[in-house]
């Protein structure tokens, strides 16, 4: 079961932020922000939150599609990061540490939910004002997304994490290696295995669905 370690990560360039005018800070500025946040500066930590929040939301929603639940987990991730800033090694990079914390927190929550037998993938949102005929049927999109999510759950966590970060969120291999604190060679191998697992699980579900239709 995946529990990412706290060993030193590789020293590749790392930037998991989405550039927006006036929001990005340089690596040197980020180091100063981290230093201030470790000394209790809430404003400095708030700037770090602004820099990473959008990407953390996107990553967590790959594991937890429910918007409200994902939002709660994002908030908890940043709260936990703030509470543990004194444990953060400033010689390392803040981004991998934050994403590792968020992914581990999300997995911890999902394990608890499954043990309680209340596994819900998608929120029951209202229908709104009715469908727009010019857009795809949201029910079809939701069904496909749920199928993908169901298949992903069949993949062991260590491989699922690599598949989600690399293929669904577009992290490069070096970024995934930094987040998971594994070598790039390990990430490439796990990605190949994860893709194979996903393909086999998807084809297996399709065969089962076809057999049910014929029976």
Tell me: the pLDDT tens digits for 56-81?
Answer: 999 999 888 888 999 999 999 999 99
Q: How far is the C-alpha of 49 from the C-alpha of 28, rounded, in Å?
A: 17
Higher pLDDT among residues 163 and 141, named by residue: 163
Cite the residue boundaries of each domain of the chain with CATH code 1.10.10.10.
138-215
Please list the residue range(s) of the chain that carry CATH number 1.10.1740.10: 9-118
Instruction: Spell out the CATH class of 9-118.
Output: mainly alpha
- CATH classification code of 138-215: 1.10.10.10
Best CA proximity match to 16, nearest among 7, 5, 27: 27
Eight-class DSSP state of 85:
G
> Is the pTM for the entire model greater than 0.85?
no
Q: pLDDT tens digits, residue range 20-49?
A: 433 344 666 888 999 999 999 999 999 999
């Amino acid at each position: 079961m995946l529990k990412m370690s706290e060993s030193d990560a590789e020293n590749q360039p790392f930037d998991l932020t989405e550039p927006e005018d006036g929001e990005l800070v340089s690596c040197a500025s980020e180091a100063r922000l981290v230093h201030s946040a470790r000394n209790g500066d809430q404003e400095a930590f708030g700037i770090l939150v602004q820099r990473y929040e959008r990407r953390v939301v996107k990553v967590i929603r790959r594991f937890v599609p429910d918007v409200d639940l994902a939002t709660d987990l994002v908030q908890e991730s940043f709260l936990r990061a703030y509470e543990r800033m004194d444990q953060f090694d400033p010689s390392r990079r803040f981004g991998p540490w934050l994403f590792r914390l968020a992914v581990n927190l999300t997995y911890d929550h999902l394990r608890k939910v499954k043990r309680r037998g209340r596994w819900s993938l998608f929120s029951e949102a209202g229908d709104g004002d009715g469908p727009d005929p010019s857009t795809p049927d949201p029910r079809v999109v939701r069904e496909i997304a749920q199928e993908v999510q169901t298949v992903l759950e069949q993949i062991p966590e260590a491989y699922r994490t690599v598949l989600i970060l690399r293929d669904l969120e577009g992290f490069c291999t070096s970024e995934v290696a930094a987040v998971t604190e594994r070598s790039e060679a390990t990430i490439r191998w796990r990605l190949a295995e994860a893709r194979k697992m996903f393909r086999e699980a998807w084809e297996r579900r399709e065969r089962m669905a076809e057999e049910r239709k014929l029976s």
